[in-house]
Structure 1
Amino acid sequence: MNLQAAQNLIQDAGVFFSRSEDATGAGRSQINDSNWIVVDQTPGVGVPIGEGDAVLSVVKLDEPNNC
C-alpha cells in the first residue's frame, strides 16, 4: 500500500498524526506520499494506537522490497 493510502486509513481510525521513515536507512524525506510504499509498521497490525504512535517504514515505489 502506498504511504498516502496508509495514512488515510490511520486517519479514518481517528488518529491524525503518524510518522514515516525511510526503510533504507538513508534518511530521505517523504515529500510525495503516493511515491512511497509501506514495507513495515510499528506497532504491528491490530495494536491500538494513539496520536504519533504509528511509524510507517517506507521505500520508493521503484526500489526493491520484501512486500
Structure 2
Amino acid sequence: MRTITSGVIAALVLTGCGAGAPSNPAAPPAAPPKTSVRLIKVPAVVGKNHQLAQNTMQAAGLYDLREEDATGQGRLLIWDRNWVVVRQTPPAGRRVRPDTVVTLFSKKIGE
C-alpha cells in the first residue's frame, strides 16, 4: 500500500480550489506600470521654408519626419530650401510623444 505525503495532499487541495487564481475573475487584469514619457509641444512651421521646418522639428526632439508635395503631384522635395510648408500634422501646439510621425506638406516657393 502506498502512502500519500501531506505535501502532495496540500498541492492537490490548492490546485482543486483554484489557488493562485484571481479572487474576482470578472475583474480586469492589472494595468502594467506606466512609465513617464516626456511630451513635446509640436512647433508651428507653416509658412517656413521646408529645410528650416525640418530643423525646427528636430530641435524640438521630433525626428520621425515625413514630407509630401502639397500640390498632389507627387514630386520629391530634392532641394528643401526651395519649398515652403503649407500644412503640418499633427498641428502646432499639440503635445505628442517623441516617436510621433510628423508630416510636412510643402509646395515649391512661388506656386
* Shorter-chain TM-score range: 0.7 to 0.9
Is 1:3 the counterpart of 2:50? The answer is: yes
Which residue does the alignment assign to 1:27?
A: 74
Unaligned runs of 5+ in 2: 1-47
Greater RCO (Cα-Cα under 8 Å, separation 6 or more): 1
1:4-57 residue CA offsets vs partner (Å, 9 max, x unmatched): 000000010112231110011000000010000000001101113433511011
- TM-score, length of structure 2 as denominator length: 0.53
Equivalenced residues, count: 63
- TM-score, length of structure 1 as denominator length: 0.85
Is 1:19–1:52's contact at 8 Å kept on the other side of the alignment?
no
Tell me the secondary structure at the aligned position of residue 72 of structure 2: coil
- Name the larger-Rg structure: 2
Q: Runs of 4+ in structure 1 displaced over 2 angstroms?
A: 48-52
Tell me how large the CA RMSD over aligned residues is: 1.2
The within-5 A match list for 1:25-64 is: 25-49=72-96, 50-51=98-99, 53-63=101-111
Identity %: 46
Unaligned runs of 5+ in 1: none
Which structure's residues are more often strand, by fraction? 1
